[in-house]
Amino acid sequence: MSLTDLEAEASVPPASEEPDGRKIEGRSPWQLAWARLRKDKAAMISVVVIVLLIVMALLAPLIAKWVGYAPDFGDRKLGQTVDGLPVGPNGHHVLGTDRFGRDILVRSVYGARVSLLVGLVSTVLAVVLGVIIGASAGFYGGAIDTILARAMDVTLSFPYLLFALALAAGFGASVPLTIFVITFFSFASIGRIVRGQVLQIKEREFIEAARSLGAGSIRTMFIDVIPNLIAPVTVLGSMTIPTAIIFESTLSFLGAGTDPRTPTWGNMLSDATQSYTVAWWTLFVPAAFLLITTLAFNILGDAVRDALDPRSERLFAAQKANRKKKRK
């Protein structure tokens, strides 16, 4: 799980892998991980999808300008029937409209902004917070550990949805509040795992060596411990992003995420409950965007874990290996 393992593995390249007498190259563990990641086709497709989503989110205003409708503009002439029903995909509104006559395409594109912003920012905050608290708890131990670990346990035992709804009711729904809520409920699970890792690492010989050479706590922490956390934390982070995106959509769906006019996928899905029986596109389009985004981040997260920790074989990989053995 940790970089030290990878180093150990990389430093003893098995000779059997060089049957054609290729030159033996020294590769860093990160290079090895990257090489493994690149071979994973699903991961590469996910990367492309995520890059496209990010580009789309960044270019949202340009797309809106090109389509001709602002995200919160209800087109009451072309985007609504006289009975107030949404209009299906057509020349004016490529992916149709919702029941206010707002363009589904433009809103979905803007929705990517909120989802990605909330997903990435709250994950970064959760990771930073989780590492600081988890590492402090694990490294210092004693009373500090007791207090911080219990605090994380308490956080994890909160009924997070009720808490989020109550906060939204009290302070008014907004993007910063959503980010706060997601960060608050994600940092603890990261922090707990980090704490466990640190407890392991600090018993290792190289830490003892550093200590015996006179390294102080701060130096040991930043030079020797934290770098060894990068791999597990990267994996945790990449798995937290899709959870955060789903959580944001859930909050919006329940009316506790953002102002209902803000184009988010959750808000769009919430609106769609009123109209999907007569207008499938109001449900389908935001749901598809949400599915694709979370799927891409999940697959990528999986692949990153596999790449950084090759010992945790995936089920299919293991089966394949077994089959090969049998054939021999």
Write out the residues near other proteins by the rule CB under 8 A: 72-74, 76, 80-85, 99-101, 168-169, 172-173, 255, 259-261, 271, 273-278
* Shorter beta-carbon distance to other proteins: residue 25 or 83: 83
Residue among 178, 179, 184 nearest 251 (CA): 178
Label residue 47 exposed, middle or buried (CB < 10 Å: 0-12, 13-18, 19+).
middle
Residue among 73, 85, 106 nearest 275 (CA): 85
* Shorter beta-carbon distance to other proteins: residue 98 or 306: 98
Task: Tell me how far apart the alpha carbons of residues 207 and 204 are, in angstroms, rounded to a whole number.
Answer: 6
* Shorter beta-carbon distance to other proteins: residue 5 or 72: 72
State the minimum distance, in angstroms, from the CB of residue 69 to other proteins: 12
CB under 8 Å to 32, separation ≥6 — which residues? 6, 10
Task: Tell me how far apart the alpha carbons of residues 180 and 175 are, in angstroms, rounded to a whole number.
Answer: 9
Task: Tell me how far apart the alpha carbons of residues 281 and 288 are, in angstroms, rounded to a whole number.
Answer: 10
Q: What is the DSSP letter of 220?
A: I
Give CA separation, 50 vs 46, 106, 244, 283, in Å. Answer: 6, 18, 15, 22
State the minimum distance, in angstroms, from the CB of residue 184 to other proteins: 21
Give CA separation, 240 vs 113, 156, 173, 274, 297, in Å. Answer: 17, 15, 22, 31, 9
Q: Is the CB of residue 191 less than 8 Å from the CB of residue 237?
A: no
The values of phi and psi at residue 97, to 5°, are -130, 165
State the minimum distance, in angstroms, from the CB of residue 224 to other proteins: 50
Task: Report residue 45 CA to chain centroid gap.
Answer: 16
State the minimum distance, in angstroms, from the CB of residue 243 to other proteins: 25
* Shorter beta-carbon distance to other proteins: residue 59 or 278: 278
Task: Tell me how far apart the alpha carbons of residues 296 and 268 are, in angstroms, rounded to a whole number.
Answer: 21
State the minimum distance, in angstroms, from the CB of residue 25 to other proteins: 60
* Shorter beta-carbon distance to other proteins: residue 92 or 211: 92
State the minimum distance, in angstroms, from the CB of residue 260 to other proteins: 5
State the minimum distance, in angstroms, from the CB of residue 190 to other proteins: 31
* Shorter beta-carbon distance to other proteins: residue 217 or 274: 274
State the minimum distance, in angstroms, from the CB of residue 155 to other proteins: 26
* Shorter beta-carbon distance to other proteins: residue 287 or 295: 287
* Shorter beta-carbon distance to other proteins: residue 4 or 174: 174
State the minimum distance, in angstroms, from the CB of residue 168 to other proteins: 8
Q: What is the DSSP letter of 276?
A: T
Q: Which two tokens stand for residue 312?
A: 């945790």
* Shorter beta-carbon distance to other proteins: residue 74 or 196: 74
